[in-house]
């Protein structure tokens, strides 16, 4: 007989009662634990979540008031609101037991009990607890899945590189193989990941995007694996992590090359066993999620330098997709530019705007250090600033026409100098924003804000 997924705690000062009930329930549930002193209950809940507690109402010899049972009922529910509590009472305590149900107990069993009645009541309580747990997880999942509501940008382009990527997607999307996407910032790595998800068997499930490179050592486990209420100072409620929230779908781990060695080890363990353990618990949770990773770093070079685990690299790149920078696929600029023109001309109520051949040629000659993201911002700014019915090259005057190496300091405009320095640093570090920020003396967030400001 298969055991039900449920953890039961028995609390009674009579060891004979504990043994009898435990022998009755153990064949039916994954865990049945007993304790003869209710003072130990809070510490047990710090280590384990119990779905059902079978609680005696009197613990001091000669006491028949049931007040102790009522006290511990409230104590347990304050610590674990979803736990279902069944009270065990003598006949004289039935009125108190009824009062306790008003305080949150699910049911009560009269001593001496009937085995069938007790087993049936505990099974019912366990089902109630499991359903409440599912509801709580769904609510937490909804909070975590804001990212899937974002508009899905299409994979645009007619260059040979994009055509090759589309063919690769056609082959790998129907599988659950781990994918590693390589490319500079702004080249569209997340767009490719979303397209793989869209064409996969998991398309009806969530797509969860996580910039794991931006997670601190302290937030990494809480954000990805979740936590139990009280696991740390600010853990005011149970929360599922990003991996669990992406159940049945795909999780996109961006900036994987920026993980520290200790975090690489933790991620490798999860990927190897397809299990997570929430902070504050010892219970492994099985994962049903596809993993797609991405980075702008040269991971093979990092492995050689001892900065990235070779076993983690092998784990994440069953299939590897490399996205060339926009400067290497000029054929895609007109298509991508037209897409964003339609989007922003509608947004800013200028549907009449067009891209002329002259403007397209102008854009195709630019080196686009910020790739598609820079093109997107350039088109949006041009639409906002345009005063004519057709876009012209002057509407893109913010683009630095010279290469970084050719920059001269004839114009000492601070904004132009800062934009130049940011482009130079990003190019120097191969698109790695974290390393560029470090050299510029900025935080990662501050650099991203400037990248957006300058349309880089």
Over residues 207-241, the pLDDT tens digits come to 999 998 888 877 888 888 887 776 676 767 777 88
DSSP symbol at 213: G
Residues 6+ apart with CB under 8 A from 421: 440
Asked whether this chain's domains 4-142 and 150-322 adopt the same fold, the reply is yes
Question: Cα separation of 262 and 14, whole Å?
Answer: 47
Question: Which is it for strands 290-295 and 284-286: parallel, antiparallel or unpaired?
Answer: unpaired
Yes or no: say if 86 and 125 are a contact pair by the CB < 8 Å rule: yes
* pLDDT attached to residue 39: 92
The model's confidence at residue 138, banded by pLDDT at 50, 70 and 90, is low
- Given a cut of 80, whether residue 265 has pLDDT beyond it is yes
Rounded to the nearest integer, the mean pLDDT of the chain is 86
pLDDT digit string (tens) for 43-64?
998 888 899 999 998 887 666 6
Yes or no: say if 231 and 280 are a contact pair by the CB < 8 Å rule: yes
Phi/psi region, residue 248 (left: phi>0; alpha: psi -120 to 50; beta: rest), is: left
Q: Where are the alpha helices (DSSP H) in 145-284?
A: 160-172, 189-198, 217-225, 242-245, 261-273
Q: Tell which residue, 93, 88, 92, 90, has the closest CA to residue 107.
A: 88
Yes or no: say if 374 and 365 are a contact pair by the CB < 8 Å rule: no
User: What are residue 253's DSSP bridge partners?
Assistant: 210, 293
73-77, 92-96, 159-163: the lowest-pLDDT one: 92-96
Q: Tell which residue, 426, 455, 420, 427, has the closest CA to residue 438.
A: 426
**Cα–Cα distances in angstroms (integers) from residue 271 to residues 35, 178, 197, 358, 424, in the given order:** 37, 10, 18, 50, 36
* pLDDT attached to residue 47: 84
Domain regions of the chain by residue span: 4-142, 150-322, 328-453
Residues 6+ apart with CB under 8 A from 446: 437
pLDDT digit string (tens) for 30-43?
999 999 999 999 99
The pLDDT of 292-313, averaged and rounded, is 94
CA torsion through residues 350, 355, 356, 362, sign: positive
Asked if the 328-453 domain carries CATH number 1.10.8.60, the reply is yes
Q: Tell which residue, 253, 249, 245, has the closest CA to residue 189.
A: 253
Of 327 and 420, the structure prediction assigns the larger pLDDT to: 327
- Given a cut of 50, whether residue 147 has pLDDT beyond it is no
What's the full length of the chain, in residues?
456
* Distance spanning both ends of the chain, measured CA to CA: 63
Yes or no: say if 58 and 93 are a contact pair by the CB < 8 Å rule: yes
Question: Cα separation of 225 and 244, whole Å?
Answer: 7
Cis peptide before 112, with omega less than 30 degrees from 0? yes
* pLDDT attached to residue 383: 95
* pLDDT attached to residue 62: 61
Instruction: Choose the CATH number for 150-322 among 3.40.50.300, 3.50.30.30, 1.10.3720.10, 3.40.50.1000.
Output: 3.40.50.300
Residue/partner pairs of 97-102 with CB below 8 Å, 24 or more apart: 97/57, 97/66, 97/69, 99/70, 100/57, 100/66, 100/69, 100/70, 100/73
Q: Which CATH class is domain 4-142?
A: alpha beta
**Cα–Cα distances in angstroms (integers) from residue 5 to residues 1, 35, 115, 116, 122, in the given order:** 13, 21, 20, 19, 12
Q: Tell which residue, 90, 84, 89, has the closest CA to residue 122.
A: 84
The helix (H) or strand (E) run that includes residue 346 is helix 333-347
């Amino acid at each position: 007989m298969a055991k039900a997924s449920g953890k039961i705690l028995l609390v009674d000062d009579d060891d004979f009662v504990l043994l009898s009930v435990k022998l009755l329930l153990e064949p039916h549930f994954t865990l049945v634990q007993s304790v003869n002193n209710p003072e130990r209950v809070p510490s047990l809940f710090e280590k384990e979540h119990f779905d059902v507690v079978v609680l005696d109402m009197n613990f001091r010899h000669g006491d028949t008031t049931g007040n102790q049972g009522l006290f511990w009922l409230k104590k347990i529910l304050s610590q674990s609101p979803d736990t279902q509590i069944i009270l065990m009472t003598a006949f004289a305590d039935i009125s108190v037991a009824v009062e306790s149900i008003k305080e949150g107990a699910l049911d009560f069993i009269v001593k001496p009990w009937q085995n069938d009645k007790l087993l049936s009541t505990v099974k019912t309580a366990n089902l109630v607890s499991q359903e409440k747990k599912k509801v709580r997880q769904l609510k937490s999942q909804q909070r975590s899945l804001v990212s899937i509501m974002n508009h899905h940008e299409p994979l645009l382009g007619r260059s040979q590189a994009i055509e090759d990527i589309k063919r690769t997607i056609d082959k790998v999307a129907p599988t659950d193989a781990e994918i590693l996407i390589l490319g500079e910032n702004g080249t569209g790595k997340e767009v490719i990941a979303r397209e793989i998800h869209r064409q996969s068997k998991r398309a009806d499930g969530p797509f969860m995007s996580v910039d794991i490179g931006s997670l601190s050592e302290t937030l990494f486990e809480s954000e990805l694996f979740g936590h139990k209420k009280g696991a740390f100072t600010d853990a005011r409620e149970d929360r599922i992590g990003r991996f669990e929230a992406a159940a049945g779908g795909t999780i996109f781990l961006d900036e994987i090359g920026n993980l520290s060695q200790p975090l690489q080890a933790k991620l490798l363990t999860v990927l190897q066993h397809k299990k997570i353990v929430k902070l504050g618990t010892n219970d492994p949770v099985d994962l049903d999620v596809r993993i797609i990773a991405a980075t702008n770093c040269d991971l093979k070079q990092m492995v050689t330098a001892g900065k990235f685990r070779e076993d983690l690299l092998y784990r994440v790149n069953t299939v590897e997709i490399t996205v060339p920078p926009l400067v290497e696929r000029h054929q895609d600029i007109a298509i991508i530019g037209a897409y964003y023109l339609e989007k922003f001309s509608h947004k800013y109520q200028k549907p009449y705007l067009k891209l002329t051949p002259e403007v397209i040629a102008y854009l195709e000659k630019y080196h686009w250090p910020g790739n598609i993201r820079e093109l997107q911002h350039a088109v949006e700014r041009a639409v906002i600033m345009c005063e004519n019915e057709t876009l012209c090259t002057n509407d893109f005057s913010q683009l630095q026409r010279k290469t970084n190496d050719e920059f001269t300091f004839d114009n000492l405009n601070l904004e132009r100098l800062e934009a130049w320095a940011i482009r130079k640093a990003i190019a120097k570090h191969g698109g790695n924003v974290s390393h560029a920020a470090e050299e510029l003396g900025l935080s990662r967030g501050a650099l991203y804000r400037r990248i957006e400001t300058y349309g880089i």
